[in-house]
Amino acid sequence: MKEWWVQVGLLSVPLLAVYLHIPPPKLSPALLSWRSSGGYFTYKDQNIFYRDSNGAVGSSDIVVLLHGFPTSSYDWCKIWEGLTQRFHRVIALDFVGFGFSDKPRPHRYSIFEQASIVEGLVRHLGLHHQRINLLSHDYGDTVAQELLHRDWEMQSKTLVTLQLHSLTSFQGFSPKRTTPGSSRSTWRHCPLRNNRFLFSILQYINQRKKHRDRWVGALTSTSVPLHLIYGPLDPVNPHPEFLQLYKKMLPMSTVSVLDDHISHYPQLEDPTGFLNAYLNFINSF
């Protein structure tokens, strides 16, 4: 009789093959609508999905939204309309490897590339001479930190005003960082079934460790206004340790703390509270 592990292995191969070829689930009407209202631009032969809405008349302000892991620009759907009532342009993209953007394999996904894609989108839309506000979450926070390191602040003296509004996870600070996302997170239309693909995407965690001084330093040294909107129930950045450490390391940043039951996705869990906190900050300038 063959060893049990050989039998298990022989059985697992066809099952795994079937699993990896299961077609992805059909998109919901809401996601189909989200996709149809957006478009694509090309960055180094990669098709990058983005959404760009004209909003408030009489305002010249622009906000660019950077989503987290493991989701997409759809994370901003519940506050999109509210933002269009305040901003002239509301723009969001799906990072490469996420959402409706291309997911090349094999590929070495990096925060540096994602930051360059944001810069590419800004140039594509002809906004590099315009004032830009940046709203980021989770994975997008690190992309925003890289943009700060690239002297967007220096550019702001003549071209761009960058205001970083980081929602939850400056993982460079978090003393109890354990997972790349919340237990309540939902992966939207991205093939995580391919383990190599998932491993490539998750390299951002190691990149955060490797480049911690670069990205945390971008925050501690900037004169750009910073604001944190925080959900106390966030398992990624636990309360109160994270908030205490954040305030200690970034005393110049302002903070909004939402209701006790709000967790890692405040823009989805409490869109009204989140939007009010964000607009109060924006309107304070």
Closest CA to 40 of 94, 84, 79, 77: 94
Residue type, 133: N
> Is the previous residue joined to 251 through a cis bond, with omega within 30 degrees of 0?
no
63 touches 91 (CB < 8 A): yes
Token output for 136: 């980021």
For residue 157, how far is the Cα from the chain centroid? Answer: 26
Q: What CATH architecture is 27-169+192-283?
A: 3-Layer(aba) Sandwich (3.40)
User: Alpha-carbon distance 277 to 271, whole Å?
Assistant: 10
281 touches 165 (CB < 8 A): yes
Residues 143, 146, 147, CA angle at the centre, nearest 5°?
A: 90
Condensed to tens digits (0 to 9), the pLDDT of residues 261-279 reads 999 999 999 999 999 999 9
Condensed to tens digits (0 to 9), the pLDDT of residues 193-217 reads 456 777 888 889 899 999 999 998 9
Q: Mean of the pLDDT values across residues 150-171?
A: 45
User: Alpha-carbon distance 216 to 163, whole Å?
Assistant: 16
Write down the domain spans for the chain. Answer: 27-169+192-283
- pTM for the full predicted model: 0.82
Condensed to tens digits (0 to 9), the pLDDT of residues 9-35 reads 555 656 555 555 667 778 999 999 999
